[in-house]
Amino acid sequence: MPVRPPLLALSGSLVACGTLVGVAAAGEPAPVIRFVAGGDTMMGSDRVKGDAGLSPDDGKSLFTDTAALFRGADVAFLNLEGPLADGLASPKCSPTSTDCYAFRTPTRYVAALTFAGIDLVSLANNHANDLGDEGLASTMSTLDKAGIAHAGRRGDVAGLTVRGKRIAMVAAHSGSCCVNDNDLAEVRAAVTAAAATADIVVFAFHGGAEGPEHRHVPGQTEVAWGEPRGDVKALGRAAVDAGADLVLGTGPHVLRAMEVYKGRLIAYSLGNYTGYRQFGTGGSYAGTSVLLDVSLGADGGLTAASVHGVALDNESVPHLDPTGLGGRMIAELSAADFPETGVSVAADGTLSWR
């Protein structure tokens, strides 16, 4: 498992303490670090539906098919949309609302994340504050106790040490909680600060419009529920320009294109991983997803990548999908939206790029 050095974020800058472990001796090959990343994740909510909104095994079945892939990675990532808290009320939605979505996942569900081998989560999304500041604090404390690194709230920069390399993650969203998708100067500053002390920087963003009609990256500011959610093409590239080595996008709840920009992979949306009994999975778009499998060299450069198909059933439980549909979707979208820099996807899921 990764070693988590003490990392302190002070006024938006990253300060790292401690010494590296496991540095390769002279003459040994430089380490390659493997990431496996899934998309939007909500493991069940008891806020409205009670126990009917929760899986009977505290979420472990949501990882039955995929745990081996996550555990096989050096760093396993998800975007966590359900706050981990027990019994807190939501200041976001009235008790009688039928069109306001606020989730609450019991803190014991963190055991499903550790069962799956998850190392790193983003909390920069439009559900991180569903239960207010107290709910976000509960989520962060629960993850800390489980040894899972997280980034989201301003100043919350994740830090791990893997194979002797310091890895930092900055996460952004369009809300007031976090580094803002719409403020490229703020994004650049946060990524630059992380890159000053880390060997490899991951930038996770939650942005773009939502739904099957928003599968393409338009190259302009997008709006969801009346809120500007960034020009994600400009956002992803700005992060790379500032020092990000891997960009992981979530938010649209459907797959989007991937491109290789300046030798760094940008995944514009990883789609849904799970939204147990909450996320709609009708049609092939919302119910088709992937796990992204990426290897980075010691300098953060992309060395290999592939996707593993995932299909969500009618309860939004993910299962590995051997049909390759997710990969074909990404290939089609990448060719359309990024004809010069988009990835190609082979039948076995292997990514190639120019």
pLDDT tens for each residue of 9-64 = 322 333 332 222 333 445 566 789 999 999 999 999 998 888 889 988 999 999 99
Segment holding 242, helix H or strand E? helix 232-242
What's the pLDDT at 207?
Answer: 98
pLDDT at position 28: 62
Mean pLDDT of the chain: 90
> Which stretch of 31-35, 234-238, 274-278, 336-340 has the lowest confidence by average pLDDT?
274-278
Asked, for residue 214, whether it belongs to a domain, the answer is: yes
Domain assignment of residue 3, yes or no: no
The one-letter amino acid at 243 = G
Interatomic CA distance for residues 275 and 208, integer angstroms: 19
pLDDT value at 5 more than 50: no
Which pLDDT band holds residue 82 (cuts at 50, 70, 90)? confident
Q: Strand pairing of 179-180 and 158-162?
A: unpaired
By the 8 A CB rule, do 217 and 337 touch? Answer: yes
The pLDDT value given to residue 17: 29
Mean pLDDT for 315-322 is: 96
Question: What's the domain count of the chain?
Answer: 1
At residue 236, what are phi and psi to the nearest 5 degrees?
A: -60, -40
Q: How far apart are CA 163 and CA 295, in angstroms?
A: 13
Distance CA 151, CA 178 (A): 9
Q: Is the pLDDT of residue 260 over 90?
A: yes
CATH number at residue 98: 3.60.21.10
pLDDT at res. 97: 67
The percent of residues in the chain predicted with pLDDT above 90, rounded, is: 77
197 in a structural domain = yes
pTM of the predicted protein model: 0.91
Identity of residue 315: E
Reply yes or no on whether the pLDDT at 142 is more than 70. Answer: yes
One-letter amino acid for residue 352 of the chain: S
Is residue 65 in a domain? yes
More confident residue, 339 or 45: 339
Is 20 inside a domain boundary? Answer: no
Residue 244: pLDDT above 70? yes
Range of 250's domain?
Answer: 30-352
Least confident of 6-10, 14-18, 116-120, 253-257: 14-18
- Does residue 14 form part of some domain? no
CA–CA separation, 31 and 34 (whole Å): 10
**Residue of 19 and 132 predicted with greater confidence:** 132
Q: What is the pLDDT of residue 280?
A: 74
pLDDT of residue 176: 87
In a domain? residue 22: no
